[in-house]
Structure 1
Amino acid sequence: MNGSLVVRAQRVVLPDGERPAAVHVQDGVVVAVTGFDEVDGTVVTLADDEVLLPGLVDSHVHVNEPGRTEWEGFASATRAAAAGGITTIVDMPLNSIPPTVDVPALHVKRAVAEGQVSVDVAFWGGAVPGNAEELPRLLDAGAVGVKCFLLDSGVPEFPPLDDAGLRAALTELAAVDGLLIAHCEDEDVITAAPQPGGRRYADFLASRPGAAEETAIGRLIAAARDTGARVHVVHLADAGALPMLRAARADGVRITVETCPHYLTFSAEEVPDGDTAFKCCPPIREAGHREALWQALADGDVDLVVSDHSPCTPELKRLDVGDFALAWGGIAGLQVTLPVVWSGARARGYGLGDVVRWMSAAPAQLAGLPGKGAIAVGRDADLVAFAPDEPWRVAQLHHRNPVTPYAGRELTGVVRRTWLRGQPLVDGGAALGRLLSRGER
């Protein structure tokens, strides 16, 4: 191991558990994991109150560049990720202009991101009406999968798929074993619900009932069953959908599920009227849903936790009037996802190994990034020194527009250092990131 970097700690979270270990790194890759005292070369020893984690993978980030870079951008988003212990993000195909719905648009995204990313970045493509035949080409060009909406996305350049369009997309993807991830809310259910308006959060919640998620997920399950394609439900908020998801998996439907820190942290009962920083779609639901989602993570019925970082300019949040109907829907929280989820997990008796499984290993597997997701030989040396018992209050953030419901919140767990392929990311990170393609090691 002569000449290698060695990062060691009394607590290292490894795929087979937590123990004292030394992680040996050469050329950015983990080449050995040995006992704590089996070291040579340059040795970095973590403090007694620090735990060594693998870098997190956030497979649901809206970077918005180009086209809406004033909302967020690759430089600011990846600095925030690095500061939060996230060493890989996967960029969503919408809110940027052009949306990533064909290969030329993917090339535009990659060209814009090149040279300004502090962490590694992969890309989702987009499935919209009429582009089903383009989807295999997007995968061949490096997209890790494709995303669709089953209702209005909120931006006109990324329209939703109806059932025929969904099945056309899945038929193309099934032929190449590609993955489709879906925003599951049903337009008809929402149209029939009370219309939102004003400052009362209860009115906004009533306008997007749990039945909208359940109906759309039912449509996705049926289409996946008929086509044999792989599908994934993004940002599940409604625990009422869990039984149908569990049954579908038992029947052999290839479907996975994610939820988000805001659904695991907040509850509708505590959202202040007029505080539109909390607006997202699907909405934050009652506390019973929150606790059921935690249990679903423990039971394996929900596979992963990702940020769904979706910021906008402060003006679009309409904090001036506090009208939930007028405000842009999206939660900004990329930098704080690890301490947010850890704060909730430790309070419920879960360990750091659970958090790593939900926030590193499972997202890496979903996105088809075999070099990520674990401290293991042959994986990228993406490492995080995390102080799990240190309290702090959310203040300065690297997001371009740090309007967030987490502002001022007391959390437990501080990211002290982050390494990307063995290189330290200092002060939010330098531009050391790479642009990744599906299956790339």
Structure 2
Amino acid sequence: MPDVQLVVRSTRVVTPEGMRPAAVLVAGGVIEAVVPHGAGVPAGARLEDLGDDVVLPGLVDTHVHVNDPGRAEWEGFWSATRAAAAGGVTTLLDMPLNSVPPTTTVDHLRVKQEVARPKAHVDTGFWGGALPDNVADLRPLFEAGVFGFKCFLSPSGVEEFPELDQEQLAVSLGEIAGFGGLLIVHAEDPHQLAEAPQRSGGKYADFLASRPRDAENAAIAHLIGLARKLDARVHVLHLSSSDALPMIAAAKAEGVRVTVESCPHFLTLRAEEVPDGATEFKCCPPIREAANQDALWEGLAQGTIDCVVSDHSPCTTDLKTADFASAWGGISSLQLGLPAMWTEARRRGHGLEDVARWMSAGPAELAGLVGKGAIEAGRDADFAVLDPEATFTVDPAGLQHRNQVTAYAGRTLCGVVRSTWLRGERIAADGVLTPPTGRLLERNG
């Protein structure tokens, strides 16, 4: 057995077998063993007794828009990864768009990596992008270590990342399936969107009508059909429409290789509560009604929804105009996902073991991050330490995000992240962060 340098002990440690009193032995940044709470401390090891605070596996957020380089004034690697660390997130994957250049060639990936390397407070990996004109770049990007490829089926909102039409989707997915890759999809059908009423102004009801559930449902149905035909692996991003859950469940039962995520804002915020003009709540697809949210929670509990990730998509404050039609669409929540989800999960009778499965194990499995996602021997010693009974009121000025705009402003949330640990080193504690020690990750295998 390697020499154990650190013992993290708590009366509440969340492991794959459940929550229990335990001590976690750490050697070389890796979990060596999880032993009974009262076990002796190995000679030479440092003991960190965390009392009754809950030790969770560090969160894995596979849907983060960092926007660096090119739009770093929206969010950069320094600020994004600090926000992640402050919120108990120890690993994130950066989306390929909103940066300039987008991550659509190997050269562009190398630019992104060089920018991120000195700034990353948490471990950071990268998705590639699938565009109409970069099919020849997909395999080289995969071999260079991206975790998969993102595409849009409707306009992305930035001109350098155009959407795929149905023929282009089939070509790209066929190419990706040929080398065993994963396609992750913003699934809204452009024809359904074009037929929906489009009204400018500050009424949330008008915006909600402009992004109907049928747009998601139609796009997901087409994607499932294509995945079935090509035996391809696909992942539905930021599911908002609960109507799609039965077809997703049926496809999974049939053996179609489809997975799906949802986001804290769809699971904790409700259309009925969005004030007119409050475009900090705008995202695409949109926050829907309470009944829809209830059904999403059922899908999560049943396992139809595989994971919960932030879709942190920030912008500068001036882009959040009071007009829902023209305001930038995106929710800033990277630092707040854990308490937001825990607040609603406990209200609905779920435990922190469930939250860990949705926000750590599930995303790690999606991305193939075998060293992440659980507190068990052989995994990285990544921990989020939470006081689950403490509450706080969200003050945007206290967030680490580059721009302090968030739909959670003024909300009282349950669960305070006391500290965050990356490979056995404390990187955040009570709002104080260490210099960046995150590593750049590449897909394994």
TM-score (normalised: structure 1): 0.97
Equivalent in the alignment of 2:331: 331
Residue aligning to 1:159: 162
SS at structure 2 position matched to 1:335? coil
| TM-aligned CA deviation for residue 130 of structure 1 | 2.0
* Corresponding residue of 1:140: 143
- Shift in CA distance, 231/429, structure 1 to aligned 2, threshold 3 Å: farther
Moved more, 246-255 or 150-159: 246-255
Contiguous gaps of at least 5 residues in structure 1: none
Determine helix, strand or coil for the equivalent of 2:175. helix
Match of 1:51 in 2: 54
Cα contact 1:225–1:253 (8 A) shared by 2: yes
Other structure's SS at 2:208 match = helix
Where in structure 2 are the equivalents of 1:91-170 lying within 5 Å?
91-170=94-173
Give the match for residue 196 of structure 1.
199
Helix, strand or coil at the partner of 2:415: strand
Give the AA of the match of 1:437. E
Q: CA RMSD in A?
A: 1.0
Partner of 1:315: 318
CA-CA distance at 1:223 after TM superposition:
1.1
Counterparts in 2 of 1:231-310, with a 5 A limit?
231-310=234-313
CA distances 1:234-287 after superposition (whole Å, capped 9, x unpaired): 000000111111111122110000000000011111100010100000010111
Cα deviation, residue 124, structure 1 = 0.2
Q: Distance in 1 between matches of 2:417 and 2:356?
A: 14
Are 2:4 and 2:25, in contact at CA under 8 Å, matched by a contact in 1?
no
Would you say the 8 A contact 2:9–2:51 is kept in 1? no
- Are the equivalent residues in 2 in contact too, given 1:83–1:429 (CA < 8 A)? no
Cα drift, residue 326 of structure 1 = 1.2
Give the Cα separation in 2 of the matches to 1:373 and 1:2.
23
Contact 1:13–1:51 (CA<8 Å) still a contact in 2?
yes
Deviations 1:195-243 (A, max 9, x none): 1310110000001100000011111111111111100000000001111
Per the TM alignment, residue 133 of structure 1 is displaced from its structure 2 partner at its CA by 2.5
Q: Is the 8 A contact 1:79 1:429 kept in 2?
A: no
- 1:416 counterpart residue number: 418
Q: Is residue 98–residue 105 contact of structure 1 (8 Å, CA) maintained in 2?
A: yes
Contact residue 93 and residue 99 of structure 1 kept, 8 A: yes
1:180 aligned residue: 183
Q: Which residue of the partner structure matches residue 28 of structure 2?
A: 27
Deviation at 1:170, TM superposition (A): 1.2
Could you tell me how far apart the structure 2 residues matched to 1:429 and 1:231 are?
Answer: 37
Moved more, 288-297 or 424-433: 424-433
Going from structure 1 to structure 2, the CA distance change for 1:428 and 1:293 (only over 3 Å counts) comes to farther
SS in structure 2 at match of 1:44: strand
Residue in 2 that maps onto 1:349: 349
SS of residue matched to 2:177 = helix
Q: Secondary structure at the match of 1:370?
A: coil
Relative to structure 1, is the Cα distance of residues 179 and 2 closer, same or farther in structure 2, using a 3 angstrom cutoff?
closer
Matches within 5 A, 1:199-214: 199-214=202-217
Deviations along 1:120-155, one digit per CA (max 9) or x if unpaired, are: 000000000021232121111010000000010000
| In structure 2, C-alpha distance between the alignment counterparts of 1:154 and 1:114, rounded to whole Å | 27
Partner in structure 1 of residue 361 of structure 2: 361
Encode CA deviations 1:315-352: one digit per residue, 9 max, x unaligned. 0011xxx1101100000000000000000000000000
Q: What is the aligned partner in structure 1 of residue 11 from structure 2? A: 10
C-alpha distance in structure 2 between counterparts of 1:216 and 1:429, whole Å = 43
Report what 1:434 is aligned to: 439
Aligned to 1:75: 78
Match for residue 372 of structure 2?
A: 372
Is 1:215–2:199 an aligned residue pair? no
C-alpha distance in 2 between matches for 1:100 and 1:432: 23
Output aligned runs, 1:380-399, within 5 Å. 380-395=380-395, 396-399=398-401
Separation of aligned partners in 2, 1:269 and 1:86: 30
Identity %: 59
1:402 matched to 2:368? The reply is no
- Asked if the contact 1:93–1:100 (Cα under 8 Å) also holds between the matched residues in 2, the reply is yes
- 3-state DSSP of counterpart to 1:371: coil
Question: Contact 1:93–1:147 at 8 Å: present in 2 too?
Answer: yes
Separation of aligned partners in 2, 1:170 and 1:177? 10
- Match of 2:336, SS state, is helix
Question: Aligned residue for 1:230?
Answer: 233
Distance in 2, matches of 1:8 and 1:304, equals: 27
* Structure 1 residues 376-430: Cα deviation after superposition (integer angstroms, max 9, x where no partner): 1111000121101101111210000010010111000000011100011131342
Q: Distance in 2 between matches of 1:89 and 1:315?
A: 27
Deviating runs (4+, > 3 A) in structure 1?
none
> Would you say the 8 A contact 1:398–1:428 is kept in 2?
no
**SS of equivalent to 2:342:** helix
Letter in 1 for 2:26: V
Is the contact made by 1:57 and 1:373 (CA closer than 8 Å) also made in structure 2? yes
Query: For residue 246 of structure 2, what is the amino acid of its counterpart?
Result: P
Counterpart AA for 1:170: L
Question: Match of 1:266, as an amino acid?
Answer: L
Query: Residue by residue, what CA displacement relative to the aligned partner does 1:170-191 show, whole Å, maximum 9, x if unpaired?
Result: 1111122100000000111111
